[in-house]
Structure 1
Amino acid sequence: MSRASQRPAGLARSAPVFAALGDETRLALLSRLCEGGALSTAQLTGGTDISRQAVTKHLDVLAGAGLVHDVRRGRERRWELAPGRLAEARRTMDELSRRWDEALLRLRALVEE
């Protein structure tokens, strides 16, 4: 069996999500957006020492991974959580966890023989 056929379904699709979540600043931005409602870049930078330009770059990475999307209201750009991709990534992690548990059970059975 090839390595590719052993991969959990959705792994390639979820990889950009996991890469985007691998940054503390992006996790903090997602956390703020999870609190509800669309927020502007100015609102997301409020109370931080991160520039608007840096936040915009992080939001672009999150958007590229499908985790957030922007909504334009006139000249203002507000950002919202897009939970669908996060749910997909969670299903991938659940599948990996299930496979890990199965591997541990096989190892246990082998050791106990």
Structure 2
Amino acid sequence: MKTSSVILPFSIWINRIRAVFGQAEAQSLLGEAYEFGEGVKLDYRKALFWYKKSADQGHDRAQANIGAMYQRGDGVEADLDVARQWSELAATQGNLTAVQNLGIAYLLG
């Protein structure tokens, strides 16, 4: 039997369980862990997967983070129209990061 040489930090392990059970905040936090490689191997595909699960439940930070990923082209082809759509969803809920990202998107075209 092969065991993994990577032991996940406790908070990642707990958030993964909560995320699987559909908790939007945990899904967003797990997305952030994968996007920045905090406690797990950096993986933009997994980050986007968990962000979208959370964003589909209306989680504004996940929506803003998806917008930022599309704005920067992190793990996806940069697409300012898609970035703007996600950022607008988050901004309408008062997410200040999304408002800032929208300003940048409008400046860039």
TM-score by length of 2: 0.31
Q: Flag the structure with higher strand content.
A: 1
- Which of 1 and 2 has higher RCO (CA within 8 Å, sep 6+)? 1
TM-score by length of 1: 0.30
